Amino acid sequence: MTACGVQRSFDAIMGRPLCKPWGDAMQTSHFVSALVLTATLACPHAARAQLSRVYPGGMHQYVVNSEMQGTAMAPSVVEFQIRDTVAPTQLPSVTHYSLKIRLFPEEGKLEVVATMTVTNKTGQPMSDLPFLLYRLLEIQRVSDENGLPIKFEQTIVKVGESNLQASLTRLRLAEPIASGASIRVAIAYRGSIFGYPEVMSYVNDRVSEKYSLIRPDALAYPMLAEPTFESLRKAYGIDVPFTYDLAVTVPDEYLVACGGAPLTASTKEGLTTFSFKSKVPTSRIDIAAAQFKVLKDETKKLAVYVLPEDEKNAIEILKGTSRAVSLYSTMFGELKDYQGYTVIEVPDGWGSQASDYYFLQTAAAFKDLKRILEVYHEIAHSWNAKAKPEVRNTRWFDEAFAMYFQALALREFEGEQAYLAEMDRDRDSFIKRAQKDKKNFETPIAEYGKYDLGDNSYSKGAWSLYVLHQLVGEEQFKQIVRTFVTEFREKPADFKDFQLVAERISHRNLDKYFQEWFYTSGSSQLLVDRVSVTEIVKRY
Ligand SMILES: [Zn+2]
């Protein structure tokens, strides 16, 4: 095999590391845990390969033959998605969801009427609206804001090139939505969900007597997207956040928990309806129903929903949540739009999730209080600055901060030794990753997004902040983070913005530190050599 061959691109498809030059031209991007391969025509081989098939959703199949590679290999087929040469389809956005949900835990079914405000920010009139739903959810009726039926067709499709099957419904509007205008559509549907464990192991979402979970991960509510991961990712309200209101009806013995603010609960004929609204404009809706016990701290607006078998530790989780909110508020400033916190226990293996002022926490942290660290981590995410889209995938702006904050929480609640031990664990984790794949060692933090190496922000990213903290000292570090988080709460930031804030507050030239930690991989050697933080700081 030559240095550049088709076999390598297959390796990539199998999830193993990419090699150059395919590695230069192709990027893998993990959306949830499904692998999406993307490529640009910059790759000389792809450019010379013959396009043999175009699949819906931007997947392309190429035949690359031996002649093109200058080797004696048999012709091979490569499939990937073109990212930069084909403009991604622009779609309008859902800017408000109003969901009326009835859960039937005994039957394992749900019935939903989803009324959505769809806003057209594409700059051109749009008359086709594709919606993705879980494959076993059947649409009963689609209507416009006057209650008149809208024509639709529902088909089963694959999302991207993955095994993730979804139902795709295309609404054809009689009148296009003008640019800048909004319309309302209502989709009534019912059926079952069983998650996507075959594709994403954590998505076990279902309606059942033990536990019911409704999340976008299982497409339990309509996502305005084409069946590609790129389009689906956009349908989460990350760039265009949405608001919501919900009414969820369950048999009496169940409690409904949701990331939104609870409004009312009313009981009638053995059924209780819980209503909620979004705390702030947000990117996702998470709803759980079970025989929860709920613990509240009214002054701090905290609520913990726990399964009965784990009730005994719930008070510690509530206290941990409260402690972390107080600590981060003191160190890095009160959050202007603070909305309290809702913590919702999900069964083990169903995946923790954090969003605006709530998180889903797997049972492990409720059973083993050593894992309360995960609570400190999730809450820390509320003190994240907003990252520019081009650096978001480095995960530094969210995960480096959350990991370092959780270490600071340990320092505060358990002492210096626990803090130092946590930083040692982060360094060990980076060293292990660097040994496993030298790309983790060689790639600067600022380039993590490009090569999908953002997982290193959990280890080396945390260390980058640790070093800065030791370098500028306690007061200035707090001031830098506080300023950065305040100034870039709405306006998105990149690494240069962080450097400007850090230099302005510390009155130092931090060029060498930023070069070694963000723009080159110089700092990787310092970590692998286990140079002490005191020694590292002397370099700057
Ligand atoms: Zn995190």
| Tens of pLDDT, residue by residue, the chain (540 residues) | 222 332 233 333 322 222 222 333 333 322 222 222 333 222 333 333 444 444 333 444 444 443 344 333 344 455 444 433 333 468 999 999 999 999 999 999 999 999 999 999 989 999 899 999 999 999 999 999 999 999 888 999 999 878 889 999 999 888 999 999 999 999 999 999 999 988 888 899 999 999 999 999 999 999 999 999 889 988 988 778 999 999 999 999 999 999 999 999 999 999 999 999 999 999 999 999 999 999 999 999 999 999 999 999 999 999 999 999 999 999 999 998 899 999 999 999 898 888 899 999 999 888 888 889 989 999 999 999 999 989 999 999 999 999 999 999 999 999 999 999 999 999 999 999 999 999 999 999 999 999 989 999 999 999 999 999 999 999 999 999 999 999 999 899 999 999 999 999 999 999 999 999 999 999 999 999 999 999 999 999
Per DSSP bridges, beta strands 93-104 and 243-251 are: parallel
Using the mean position of ligand 1's atoms as its centre, give its distance from the Cα of residue 372 in Å.
Answer: 14
Using the mean position of ligand 1's atoms as its centre, give its distance from the Cα of residue 85 in Å.
Answer: 32
Residues belonging to the chain: 540
Using the mean position of ligand 1's atoms as its centre, give its distance from the Cα of residue 465 in Å.
Answer: 15
Using the mean position of ligand 1's atoms as its centre, give its distance from the Cα of residue 262 in Å.
Answer: 25
Using the mean position of ligand 1's atoms as its centre, give its distance from the Cα of residue 278 in Å.
Answer: 21
Residue with structure tokens 């500028």? 472
DSSP state for residue 59 in the 8-state scheme: E
Using the mean position of ligand 1's atoms as its centre, give its distance from the Cα of residue 460 in Å.
Answer: 14
Q: How far apart are CA 327 and CA 85, in angstroms?
A: 47
Using the mean position of ligand 1's atoms as its centre, give its distance from the Cα of residue 16 in Å.
Answer: 24
Using the mean position of ligand 1's atoms as its centre, give its distance from the Cα of residue 119 in Å.
Answer: 30
Using the mean position of ligand 1's atoms as its centre, give its distance from the Cα of residue 96 in Å.
Answer: 26
Q: How far apart are CA 284 and CA 245, in angstroms?
A: 12
Using the mean position of ligand 1's atoms as its centre, give its distance from the Cα of residue 386 in Å.
Answer: 14
**409 phi and psi, to 5 degrees?**
-65, -40
Q: How far apart are CA 531 and CA 43, in angstroms?
A: 39
Using the mean position of ligand 1's atoms as its centre, give its distance from the Cα of residue 354 in Å.
Answer: 8
CB 454 within 8 A of CB 395: yes
Q: Which residues pair with 155 in a beta bridge?
A: 168
- Helix or strand or coil: residue 177? strand
88-244 and 292-382 have identical folds: no
The contacts of residue 166 (CB under 8 Å, 6+ apart) are 132, 133, 134, 135, 156, 157, 158, 159, 219, 227
Domain locations in the chain? 6-82, 88-244, 292-382, 384-538
The pLDDT value given to residue 240: 87
Using the mean position of ligand 1's atoms as its centre, give its distance from the Cα of residue 521 in Å.
Answer: 23
The pLDDT value given to residue 89: 63
Render the burial of 19-54: b for 16+ CB within 10 Å, e for the rest. Answer: beebbebbbbbebbebbbbbbbeebebbeebeeeee
Using the mean position of ligand 1's atoms as its centre, give its distance from the Cα of residue 398 in Å.
Answer: 7
**51 phi and psi, to 5 degrees?**
-70, 120
Domain 384-538, architecture per CATH: Orthogonal Bundle (1.10)
Superfamily of domain 292-382: Neutral Protease Domain 2 (1.10.390.10)
Render the burial of 357-367: b for 16+ CB within 10 Å, e for the rest. Answer: bbbbbbbbbbe
Using the mean position of ligand 1's atoms as its centre, give its distance from the Cα of residue 399 in Å.
Answer: 5
The CATH class, in words, for 88-244 is: mainly beta
Per DSSP bridges, beta strands 34-39 and 76-82 are: parallel
CB 485 within 8 A of CB 332: yes
Using the mean position of ligand 1's atoms as its centre, give its distance from the Cα of residue 395 in Å.
Answer: 9
The H-or-E segment that residue 482 falls in is helix 474-487
Q: How far apart are CA 226 and CA 57, in angstroms?
A: 7
Helices (H), 254-372: 314-332, 363-367
Using the mean position of ligand 1's atoms as its centre, give its distance from the Cα of residue 163 in Å.
Answer: 27
Using the mean position of ligand 1's atoms as its centre, give its distance from the Cα of residue 348 in Å.
Answer: 17
Six token digits for residue 240: 């265009």
The pLDDT value given to residue 135: 96
- Helix or strand or coil: residue 244? strand
Residue 525's alpha-carbon distances to 223, 498, 516, 540, in angstroms, are: 44, 23, 10, 16
